Structure 1
Amino acid sequence: MLMLIITNCRHIANDNSERTNSDDEENEKISDVINYHRKWIVIKDEEKNQKQQMEVYISELGDTIYNQNKFFVNGKLDSTKSNFYELDLSAKTNGEYKGKIKIHSGYIHNIESPITRRRLQLYLLNREDSINTDFESINMNNIKFSYSSSNDTLIGILLDMIEIDTVIDGENMVRLLESRYYLDNKSETLNTLINEFEKNKN
């Protein structure tokens, strides 16, 4: 049985048309860490009474990454066209935090084949800025986690991986659908995981 991998990647738009290759090379030499400004934007279609809220990460280099989206029709959330997460974070003691993330994946409603397995994989940056990958959830739409930090800043990435059985040209295959969500609870972030995953994607 073979595996077919399909990644649901957010579109990256480059708003700086005058940036040259030499500029890119120089920026990489200066630092691999890029500062991002995170915010929500709203796109409205008054005629159809539709509204879409989109979370975007805008880098200091002028690039835009689309992360979450919520689609509304007549003021009601359309779950089949929305992809977002809910974050519940609380403090414990001595710089220890715990939380829970719930995923709302609209594309699941459009999958015709039965889902055989779903895995949520959470990567977080801890106090020493090393990656903690100990958080995993199987066949659920939520994941619990804990981490250490000198403040309440949360930085990470969540991978949502779904496996379904399919047949292509008469051959049984496993189809893997992967979505990623960058996680931050501050409007300004130095989320180095964004750089790593975007580089590997290209």
Structure 2
Amino acid sequence: MYKFIFTLIVFFFLGCANDKKKKFEAKTSNKDTIYEKLWLCYPTIENLDECIEYYISPLTDTIYNQIKVFTNGTLDTLKSEFYDINIFKTEKSNVYRANITLHSRFDTLKINQKNQRTFKILYIEFDGKYSIGSKVSKTSNFIEFEYINTKDNHLTGVLVDDVFRDTIIQNESQLNYGKTRILVDTRNSTDNLFISNRNFLKEKIIK
């Protein structure tokens, strides 16, 4: 697979904030860097067990992605950041249905006037040419969508979750902002194009 131009990626991060799937043909440049996904688990100083998914390449920086935290052997979703994904073949040729649930500290967030969320997935489709699709939910941490891949059922993309909450701190009303960014790949070896947006993932880069 090949990289899409950087400006197109930025456009999708800043836009596409609706519930319709949008597709744009992308230009290509050089071949992508291949990353291998690897989970590592270890105890923490808080007596918790933590498992972290890393994207590793000998050619560039390592990126940490999903995090699972266990308390006494039980997964604590409110302290973790990870996704569950299911993919199904549809009756339409080369079309697959995927549903994704994002788990984070906002799992129990109730959407109302004081709590707002925009949960989005950007993903790659292939039908002879590469394009980007998107799907948005403003009501929950769950998204279901269909995508095209004439090669196989592989899905690659990124989850973008932005949460805004009105809070009271020292008797003053303040807007609290929280964000979650997680790469999505159904293969252990990947050339996920969204990694090319270094500013987007700068907090997850391990130098």
- Give TM-score, length-normalised by structure 2: 0.70
Tell me by how many angstroms 1:106 deviates.
Answer: 2.5
55 and 115 in structure 1: CA distance in 2 versus 1, 3 angstrom threshold: farther
Counterpart contact for 1:54–1:66, Cα < 8 Å: yes
Q: 1:169 & 1:46 partners in 2: Cα distance?
A: 31
Q: Which amino acid aligns with 2:195?
A: I
Q: Deviations over 1:54-88 (max 9, x none)?
A: 11111241421111111112111123321111001
User: What's the counterpart of residue 182 of structure 2?
Assistant: 181
| Structure 1 Cα separation of the partners of residues 200 and 74 of structure 2 | 37
Deviates more, 1:173-182 or 1:95-104: 173-182
Identity %: 29
Supply the distance in 1 between the matched residues of 2:41 and 2:114 (Cα, whole angstroms).
32
What letter corresponds to residue 141 of structure 2 in structure 1? N
1:84-132 alpha-carbon deviations (Å, 9 max, x no partner): 110011111311001110111126679xxx9521111110111022211
Change (3 A) 1:47 1:169: closer
Q: Indicate yes or no: 2:49 matched with 1:51.
A: yes
2:125 is matched with 126
SS at match of 2:98: strand
The answer to whether the 8 Å contact 1:42/1:53 transfers is: yes
After TM superposition, the score normalised by the length of structure 1 is 0.71
Number of residue equivalences:
167
How far is the alpha carbon of 1:43 from its aligned partner? 1.1
Task: Report Cα offsets for 1:128-187 as digits up to 9, x if no partner.
Answer: 222112x11012011111100021111100101101124689986543322111000001
1: distance between equivalents of 2:115 and 2:72? Answer: 34
Q: Name the residue aligned to 1:148.
A: 148
State how far apart, in whole Å, the 1-side matches of 2:166 and 2:45 are.
41
Deviations 1:38-66 (A, max 9, x none): 12111135993x32111111124142111
Larger Rg, first or second structure (1 or 2): 1
Residue aligning to 1:98: 97
